[in-house]
């Protein structure tokens, strides 16, 4: 048992003792705040009722609405024949269901990932050897509700659907095992020419990419157990992975015994009594089982599917360990309880008029805990006692908001993820970036594992060793990214040598370790990465290193061309631009990769796309210096030109709520001492782009990045990763209470004067006039420090309807920036 698990038990069983010990050793730095111990939230709160899993399940949201645990490896869900079935499911009723598979991701782009090991129920066949086993032949529509929507239901830990064949399918899950319940109807008028006995297919080959090879398939005749696996193609890279399954069957409410018929299929060829597949066959393969129908009505067949990246034997062991008795209701109730405990750590006060906002909040919070996925015990690459987390798709999406949100209420899971990151670095050389099923995938930004690890250290530096993490190993992992060039920075690490030599990434260089691409966006990401390392060095007392990496974090200045203009830009001058090794600038139209790009170009794609920017153009990336916005204001000509530029971005459609580089832009008015404008822009972003419908996301959920982003906005907060500060606006609730189980503390944020949320995001008492912490006036109306969460505090926000609020009169009222003194 690892150290982090021992401390997790201590926190659960003896929180008061743990807390008392830490009172004696932890420095409390914020004046007026003393630690507040409190008991955990009530376990009987059913916050799962406020989670709508179908938000963003059409039009590119790619949200996974199936059954899983928080950060569970198994994500059991329906697959459809939609072209947007990246999470398997599509809420559009025109698409047919094709299977119920065990592994999925949430909100990704690329090719559809995972979707392995589909199970499928058949209502009838002509006979055993003439069943529709192939994907295109067996798929059916779903039954419809009276309003024309699919008859699908989902809640945390549970999914169900009624197929047009009359078969009901229900799913629940543990960490590595899915439990399926299939209810077959009794034929009203049996057709003597049709075999209507219940059947199930176990599909080994039709994953998301449909490129499986080296298929292994075995059927145990006496029990009907199906085992096997295959080699599958990665979604967002060049590699392959092996995955394995073990499926057992039983009945419910009657004695089902073993399947009365069994066999395997290859394409349309079904072989009755066959116990193995065809390894060399390049096509659809699987097993098919016939079950004896119930004599008393509906036939219920339960299938238990364990999965593993190691072997079929381990998949069987996982299933037997996690669900020994096939008890569907108990597994479902335990899954819901797990979700309730986690989500219930953040409590929002609401009345009936706030219910939809609460649903948006808890649904967003829920999606921030689908991935990364806990694959501990399933790492096929090396043996280790460390946790192993996967489904990192990608760190570039999640470092901005998902991990800072985890800091607030789920630090123990965060600690395990950081342990996993360090273990990966020790075995592969660099911290992980984009990863799926143990396969390295394309890097999108910089070495964005750096701010994830740094965020953890900065928030929990007094606790890391108690959580099983060696601080020096953590720091070594960061330095490896910063100092040692990766042999292929398209998949891990950095283009470090030229970065260290020039302070930016020049364009047009012959390269051997990766593509000549994304130079400007990577320069900005590397700058922030090095800032995050400087923060860790500072906290560790490594002054020289802190100064070194703080200096390197100013690399963004070297790709700032003060002469670049934008058409119809109202005097806006200066943009981030590509730069050559000799110091001269190239040119990229600032409108590049935006809705106003005259050439309609896109910066989406993988590392093969030779563009200096990634998923955003110069006008967006010219605002991306989160660690030194004060310097950015200086580069852009001062406060008033900075504000005009922000207004221009919003008023002309350049702000892109679908993509992470834009996420901090609504809050940037804070740095210009105009927090009311930040409040309006942030609320307009929610109003225009996010809601509780199936169309409720403007783009991919990006592994929960959009969920965590929305959750922060609704809490009235925005994080500064790898710092101890949060920007503050007005929450969407009159009161928010956050429980942190590591600190055993509550933090309550009261929105005094709260009168509701204006529909269009503006008007009414939504502006923060003042902040008091435990009754004492705080120095700023624009940010608060991490101490209020570490120690527990009552934060009172005085709201006003007057949009002339300021951060304060003193310089320290503005949010920190590196060039104005830095961060604590």
pTM for the model:
0.94
Question: Please, which pLDDT band fits residue 19 given cuts at 50, 70 and 90?
Answer: very low
**What pLDDT shows up at residue 603?**
82
Q: Which of 342, 361, 390 is the C-terminal boundary of a domain?
A: 342
pLDDT at 395 (0 to 100):
97
> Is 253 a residue whose pLDDT tops 60?
no
pLDDT value at residue 38: 60
Burial environment of residue 461 by CB neighbours within 10 A (0 to 12, 13 to 18, 19 or more): middle
**Same domain flag for 624 and 684:** yes
Q: Which residues 6+ apart lie within 8 Å of 269 measured at CB? A: none
Average pLDDT over residues 233-261: 83
pLDDT for residue 29: 42
Residue 822's pLDDT is: 80
Average pLDDT over residues 311-331: 97
Percentage of residues in the chain with pLDDT exceeding 70?
Answer: 94
Calpha distance 565→577 (Å, rounded): 11
pLDDT of residue 258: 66
Q: Is residue 12 part of a domain?
A: no
Structurally, the chain folds into a number of domains equal to: 2
Domain check: are 692 and 814 in the same one? yes
Please check whether residue 565 lies inside any domain of the structure. Answer: yes
Q: What pLDDT sits at residue 605?
A: 61
Domain that holds residue 177: 49-342
Report DSSP letters for 597-620, one per residue.
-TT-----S-TTS--SSSSS-HHH
Q: Is 222 exposed, middle or buried (0-12, 13-18, 19+ CB in 10 A)?
A: exposed
Residue 392 located in a structural domain = yes
Instruction: Assign residue 100 the CATH number of its domain.
Output: 2.70.98.10
Task: Please give the angle made by the CA atoms of 419, 420 and 424, to the nearest 5 degrees.
Answer: 120
User: What is the model's pLDDT at position 28?
Assistant: 37
- The CA distance from 215 to 386, in Å, is 30
Are both 549 and 596 inside the same structural domain?
Answer: yes
Decide if pLDDT at 701 tops 50: yes
For the four alpha carbons of 721, 727, 732 and 734, in that order, the dihedral sign comes to positive
379 and 334, same structural domain? no
CA 736 – CA 340 distance, rounded (Å): 17
What's the pLDDT band for 197 if we cut at 50, 70, 90? very high
Please report the pLDDT score of residue 35 as a whole number: 47
In the chain, DSSP finds a helix count (H) and a strand count (E) of 20, 30
Answer whether 429's CB lies under 8 Å from 486's CB: yes
C-alpha dihedral over 270, 274, 277, 278, to 10 degrees?
Answer: -80
Of 342, 366, 394, the domain-final residue? 342
According to the model, what pLDDT value does residue 13 have? 41
Q: CB–CB of 287/245 below 8 Å? A: no
Separation of alpha carbons 348 and 346, rounded Å? 7
With a cut of 70, say whether residue 50 has pLDDT above it. Answer: yes
Range scoring the smallest mean pLDDT among 254-258, 500-504, 628-632:
254-258
Residue 144 has what pLDDT? 98
Judge whether residue 26 has pLDDT over 50: no
| Per-residue confidence (pLDDT) for residue 252, from 0 to 100 | 59
Q: Tokens standing for 322?
A: 């996690």
Mean pLDDT of the chain: 92
* Same domain as 519, residue 394: yes
Cα separations (Å) of 668 from 271, 290, 545, 625, 700?
65, 62, 29, 10, 24
Domain shared by 324 and 385, yes or no: no
Q: Mutual orientation of helices 471-483 and 519-539 as an angle, nearest 10°?
A: 150
366 belongs to a structural domain: no
Omega before residue 394 within 30° of 0, cis: yes
- Where does the pLDDT of residue 318 fall: very low under 50, low under 70, confident under 90, or very high at 90 and above? very high
Q: Residue 105 CA to chain centroid, in angstroms?
A: 9
Residue 331 sits in the same domain as residue 379: no
Considering 321, 342, 363, which residue would you say is the last residue of a domain?
342
* 721-737 mean pLDDT: 97
Is the same domain home to 401 and 306? no
Is 42's pLDDT higher than 90?
no
Same-domain pairing of 321 and 466: no
Residue pLDDT, tens place only, 633-691? 999 999 999 999 999 999 999 999 999 999 999 999 999 999 999 999 999 999 999 99
- In which band, very low, low, confident or very high, does the pLDDT at 311 lie, cut at 50, 70 and 90? very high
Q: Which two tokens stand for residue 2?
A: 């690892």
Same domain, 411 and 337: no
User: Which residues, including other chains, have CB under 8 Å from residue 702's CB and lie 6 or more apart?
Assistant: 107, 108, 109, 397, 398, 660
Q: E-strand spans in 5-107?
A: 77-80, 97-101
Q: Are 480 and 561 found together in one domain?
A: yes
pLDDT-based confidence at residue 257 (cuts at 50, 70, 90): low
| 148 pLDDT tier (thresholds 50, 70, 90) | very high
pLDDT digits (tens, 9 = 90+) for 519-531: 999 999 999 999 9
Q: Say if strands 793-800 and 745-752 run parallel, antiparallel, or are unpaired.
A: parallel
The reply to whether 24 falls in a domain is no
What was the pLDDT predicted at 292? 87
Cα Rg, the chain, nearest whole Å: 27
Average pLDDT score over residue span 772-795: 98
Query: Does one domain contain both 424 and 308?
Result: no
Residue 576 CA, distance from chain mean position: 29
> Is 640 among the domain residues?
yes
In a domain, 347, yes or no: no
- Residue 20 domain flag: no
- The mean pLDDT value for 169-186 works out to 97
Identify the pLDDT of residue 246: 98
pLDDT at 30 over 50: no
Q: pLDDT of 352-370, one tens digit each?
A: 778 999 999 999 999 999 9
Q: What is the CATH number of the domain that holds 718?
A: 3.30.2080.10
Residue percentage of the chain with pLDDT more than 90: 84
């Amino acid at each position: 048992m690892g150290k982090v698990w021992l401390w997790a038990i201590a926190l659960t069983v003896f929180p008061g003792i743990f807390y008392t010990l830490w009172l004696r050793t932890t420095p409390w730095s914020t004046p007026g705040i003393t630690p507040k111990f409190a008991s955990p939230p009530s376990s009987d709160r059913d916050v799962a009722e406020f989670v709508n899993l179908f938000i963003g399940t059409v039009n590119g949201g790619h949200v996974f609405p199936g059954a899983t645990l928080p950060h569970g490896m198994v994500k059991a869900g329906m697959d459809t024949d939609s072209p947007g079935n990246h999470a398997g499911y599509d809420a559009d009723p025109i698409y047919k269901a094709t299977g119920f598979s065990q592994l999925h991701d949430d909100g990704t782009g690329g090719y559809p990932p995972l979707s392995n090991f589909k199970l499928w129920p058949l209502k009838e066949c002509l006979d055993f050897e003439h069943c529709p086993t192939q994907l295109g032949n067996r798929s059916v529509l779903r039954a419809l509700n009276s309003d024309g929507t699919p008859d699908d239901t989902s809640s945390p830990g549970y999914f169900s659907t009624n197929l047009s064949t009359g078969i009901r399918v229900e799913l629940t899950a543990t960490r590595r095992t899915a439990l399926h319940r299939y209810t077959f109807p009794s034929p009203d008028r049996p057709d003597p020419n049709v075999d209507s006995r219940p059947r199930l297919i176990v599909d080994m080959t039709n994953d998301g990419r449909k490129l499986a090879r080296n298929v292994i398939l075995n059927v145990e005749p006496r029990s009907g157990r199906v085992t096997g696996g295959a080699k599958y193609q990665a979604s967002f890279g060049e590699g392959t992975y092996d995955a394995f399954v073990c499926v057992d069957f039983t009945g419910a409410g009657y004695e089902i015994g073993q399947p009365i018929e069994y066999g395997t299929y290859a394409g349309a060829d079904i072989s009755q009594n066959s116990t193995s597949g065809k390894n060399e066959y390049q096509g659809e393969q699987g097993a098919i089982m016939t079950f004896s129908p119930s004599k008393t009505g509906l036939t219920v067949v339960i299938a238990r599917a364990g999965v593993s990246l190691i072997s079929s034997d381990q998949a069987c062991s996982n299933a037997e360990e996690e669900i020994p008795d096939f008890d569907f209701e108990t597994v479902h109730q335990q899954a819901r309880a797990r979700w309730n405990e986690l989500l219930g750590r953040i409590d929002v006060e609401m009345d009936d008029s706030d219910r939809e906002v609460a649903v948006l909040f808890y649904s967003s919070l829920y999606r921030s805990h689908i991935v990364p996925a806990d694959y501990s015990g399933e790492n096929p690459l090396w043996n280790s006692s460390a946790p192993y987390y996967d489904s990192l798709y990608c760190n570039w999406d999640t470092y901005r908001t998902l991990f800072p949100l985890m800091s607030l209420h789920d630090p123990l899971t965060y600690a395990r993820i950081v342990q996993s990151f360090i273990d990966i670095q020790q075995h592969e050389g660099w911290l992980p970036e984009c990863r799926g099923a143990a396969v390295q995938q394309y890097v999108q930004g910089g070495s964005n594992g750096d701010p994830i690890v740094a965020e953890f250290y900065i928030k929990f530096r007094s606790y890391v060793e108690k959580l099983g993490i060696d601080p020096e190993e953590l720091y070594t992992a960061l330095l490896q990214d910063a100092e040692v060039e990766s042999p292929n920075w398209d998949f891990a690490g950095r283009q470090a040598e030229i970065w260290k030599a020039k302070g930016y990434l020049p364009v047009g260089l012959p390269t051997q370790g990766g593509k000549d691409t994304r130079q400007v966006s990577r320069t900005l990401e590397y700058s922030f990465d090095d800032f995050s390392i400087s923060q860790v060095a500072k906290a560790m007392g490594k002054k020289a290193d802190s100064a070194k990496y703080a200096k390197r974090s100013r690399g963004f200045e070297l790709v700032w061309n003060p002469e670049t203009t934008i058409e119809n830009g109202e005097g806006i001058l200066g943009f981030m631009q590509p730069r050559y090794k000799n110091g001269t600038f190239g040119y990229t139209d600032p409108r590049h990769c935006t809705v106003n790009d005259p050439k309609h170009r896109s910066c989406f794609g993988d590392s093969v796309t030779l563009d200096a920017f990634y998923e955003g153009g110069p006008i967006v990336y010219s605002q991306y210096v989160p660690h030194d916005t004060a310097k950015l204001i200086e580069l852009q000509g001062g406060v008033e030109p900075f504000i005009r530029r922000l207004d221009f971005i919003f008023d002309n459609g350049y702000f892109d709520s679908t993509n992470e580089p834009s996420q901090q832009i609504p809050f940037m008015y804070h740095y210009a001492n105009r927090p009311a404008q930040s409040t309006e822009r942030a609320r307009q972003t929610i109003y225009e782009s996010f809601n509780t419908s199936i169309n409720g996301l403007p783009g991919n959920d990006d592994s929960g990045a959009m969920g965590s982003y929305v959750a922060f906005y609704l809490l009235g907060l925005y994080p500064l990763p790898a710092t101890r500060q949060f920007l503050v606006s007005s929450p969407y609730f009159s009161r928010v209470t956050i429980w942190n189980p590591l600190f055993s503390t509550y933090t309550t944020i009261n929105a005094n004067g709260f009168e509701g949320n204006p529909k269009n995001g503006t008007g009414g008492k939504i502006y923060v006039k003042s902040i008091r912490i435990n009754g004492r006036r705080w120095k700023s109306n624009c940010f608060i420090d991490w101490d209020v969460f570490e120690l527990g505090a009552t934060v009172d926000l005085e709201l006003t309807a007057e949009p002339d609020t300021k951060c304060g009169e003193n310089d320290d009222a503005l949010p920190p920036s590196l060039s104005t003194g830095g961060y604590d």
